[in-house]
Amino acid sequence: MFDAKAFLKTVTSQPGVYRMYDAGGTVIYVGKAKDLKKRLSSYFRSNLASRKTETLVAQIQQIDVTVTHTETEALLLEHNYIKLYQPRYNVLLRDDKSYPFIFLSGDTHPRLAMHRGASMRKVSILARFLMAMLCGKRWRCYRKFSLSVSAKTVSIATARVLACNTRLAGA
């Protein structure tokens, strides 16, 4: 039986990702949190929100935690873990949907573009986003800096500098 009280005493309040394992060592759930201690302790309250959560908690034998610097970093790591482990309790993100991103194609004449869906091969991803609205905002910012998708060839170095500058500007 999993000792939740002892485990929660060791957990930090930083952002991060957690993986829950069953008795067979299989990852059954991957989650992320802005505050790991608060989020993980919510699983072990007496009044859980749903029957699905109760069933999940009853199967937990181990929890591994990975601390990240930011909530965004945790979100991306969570996404990668869900793709890797395909946990049965994570129903979102198991399909080929993905977070929107802006990329530079690997073509002879690279193009800067925005995409939502499965990651594509032979592209340099410049930025991933939690919400399509933020992706669109950044995309408009790129276009404002004369990086016309149809008319200009852009080097990877130029695009990376632009991505860094717009991140710093808060676009």
Q: In the predicted model, is pLDDT for residue 116 greater than 90? A: no
Q: Are residues 128 and 57 in the same domain?
A: no
Domain that holds residue 120: 101-169
Q: In sequence order, what DSSP letters do the residues of the chain get, joined into one string?
A: ---HHHHHHH--SS-EEEEEE-TTS-EEEEEEESSHHHHHHHTTSSS-S-HHHHHHHHH--EEEEEE-SSHHHHHHHHHHHHHHH--TT--TTSSS----EEEEE-SSS--EEEE-SS--SSEEEEEE-SSHHHHHHHHHHHHHTT--TTT----HHHHHHHHHHHHHHT-
**How many C-beta atoms surround the C-beta of residue 143 within 10 A?**
13
Q: Are residues 10 and 80 in the same domain?
A: yes
Distance of CA 72 to the CA centre of its chain: 7
Q: Are residues 75 and 148 in the same domain?
A: no
Q: Are residues 126 and 59 in the same domain?
A: no
What pLDDT is attached to residue 134? 77
The pair of three-digit structure tokens given for residue 67, joined into one six-digit string: 């601390």
Q: In the predicted model, is pLDDT for residue 159 greater than 60? A: no
Q: Are residues 36 and 105 in the same domain?
A: no
Q: Are residues 77 and 115 in the same domain?
A: no
Rounded distance between C-alpha atoms, residue 114 and residue 126, angstroms: 10
Q: Which amino acid is at 121?
A: R
Residue 133 counted as domain residue? yes
Residue 95 counted as domain residue? no
Q: Who has greater pLDDT, 109 or 171? A: 109
Least confident interval from 57-66, 108-117, 122-131, 139-148 = 139-148
Q: Are 102 and 49 in contact (CB under 8 A)?
A: no
Q: In the predicted model, is pLDDT for residue 43 greater than 90? A: yes
How many separate domains does the chain show?
A: 2
Structure pTM? 0.58
Question: In the Cβ-directed half-sphere of 89, how many Cα atoms lie within 13 Å?
Answer: 21
Q: Are residues 106 and 76 in the same domain?
A: no
Phi, psi of 100 (to 5 degrees): -65, 150
Q: Are residues 105 and 159 in the same domain?
A: yes
